[in-house]
Structure 1
Amino acid sequence: MNKYFKENINIKSELKVMNQSNDVAEIYIYGAIGGWFSETNANTIKQKLEEIKAKTISVFINSPGGDVFDSVAIHNLLVRHDATINVHIDGLAASGASLIAMAGDTITMPVNAQLMIHNAWTFTGGNKHELRKVANDLESIDKSVLATYMKRFKGSKEELQVLLDAETFLDAEQAIALGLADEVVEEVEKEDEEETNVDEDLTSKQNAILQKFSASANKVDSEQTKEQYKNFFDLFKN
């Protein structure tokens, strides 16, 4: 079991459909997915999708994952839907949630979001024959998981398998380089009208701070300052 999932399995699961119109609908998949983890499962997603007639569906994900079969089914439900599917990874799309993300016609990630991929795991018990069967079953599931990523992955199956074996966390740039995402998005910038309403007192304080540091800097020998910065950056190089 991956460490992140163990620590976050009790995150409150949330499934919402919002802003539905003839053009756009939004689905939020937050928290664990399927099985005994949450009510966010293939059946509930299916019911939601049957109600959506919009031409575009934006799917927002922040999830540590969950049941692999529910995740695969949700992936396939989204792929089959007539709407254009735009996936937005708000924070984390890990494990089964990353499989759902792969259903997107487009996949976007903020610079601080993460995508995590790994091999299937399970809880089990039994004699040697039962344990061997479970291992064989997991290998079969892994083939299905790998096939889902390979629809987008820019590389060989062997290269992808290395990442799955390592339980790999990817930032936005890494995910895009590997074909598992399409675009890095920044935080939404405030409109110009809002920016002009910034507290003038705050601006004054910022200027005062800058002037204070500028005044202090003038008292320090420039060559000494250069040497201090050099030593500082040398720490990182080492």
Structure 2
Amino acid sequence: MEHQPSAQFLPVAEKFVSVNGEGLAAGQLAAFIRFAGCNLWCSYCDTRWANHPLVEVEGWSIENLVAWVRETGVRCVTLTGGEPLLQPNLPHLVRALLEVREPYPLRVEIETNGSRPVEPLLQLRAQAQVEGLAGQLCLTVDWKTPSAGAEVSAAMLADNYPLLDGRDAVKFVVGSEEDLAFARDRCKEQGLFDSTNVLFSPVWGEITPAQIVDSMAANGLARARLQLQMHKIIWPNVEKGV
């Protein structure tokens, strides 16, 4: 199936309940909805199967996705990909999720690669607050480092990052000392430590967590956070459903 949805359906590559392996809600159960397709090709991508043009997808309506989330009984929802912001119907799904009150209001997290404008979603968040919707919307926005590839790193929209606040996070996936220096420079230029949360995550097999911690300590990055992809530790070599 093609990745472009019809007016009613979104292309879902997989959906499942698992532990949030990364982000500000790491360690909590979440209902994951993974959309197919991405506009970038990162060297270290661990969900490349979902980006293939011929990946098998199911078309899910917003109504049925919300019903499935409610049936799971979990409080966290993670919308990921691929690149979820490629989906024209994503804001409609997000709003529907924020309207949920039973069995619980939802924390809706969107994982996005940093190359697509996030302002429309933040406007939706502000409007949801004005209307008193029950749920909370949080964004985890990647800032691709040189290890991702020169073209990928150059595709980042620098205007995205000043719009984020304490509900959100900027994630740097680092695989080398060059990546760590790049991340430090971006944090300083954008004042990220004063405005949002900063996460450093290792490229699996390219750099050790200890090296990242040593760099954080050596450079006084007391407000950065190391995060490990918890699902890779729990379920090594498993690509889907975790």
State the TM-score, normalized to the length of structure 2.
Answer: 0.38
Task: Using CA pairs under 8 Å that are at least 6 residues apart, name the structure with larger relative contact order, 1 or 2.
Answer: 2
Larger Rg: 1
Write 1 or 2 for the structure with the bigger share of helix.
1
| TM-score with structure 1 setting the length | 0.38
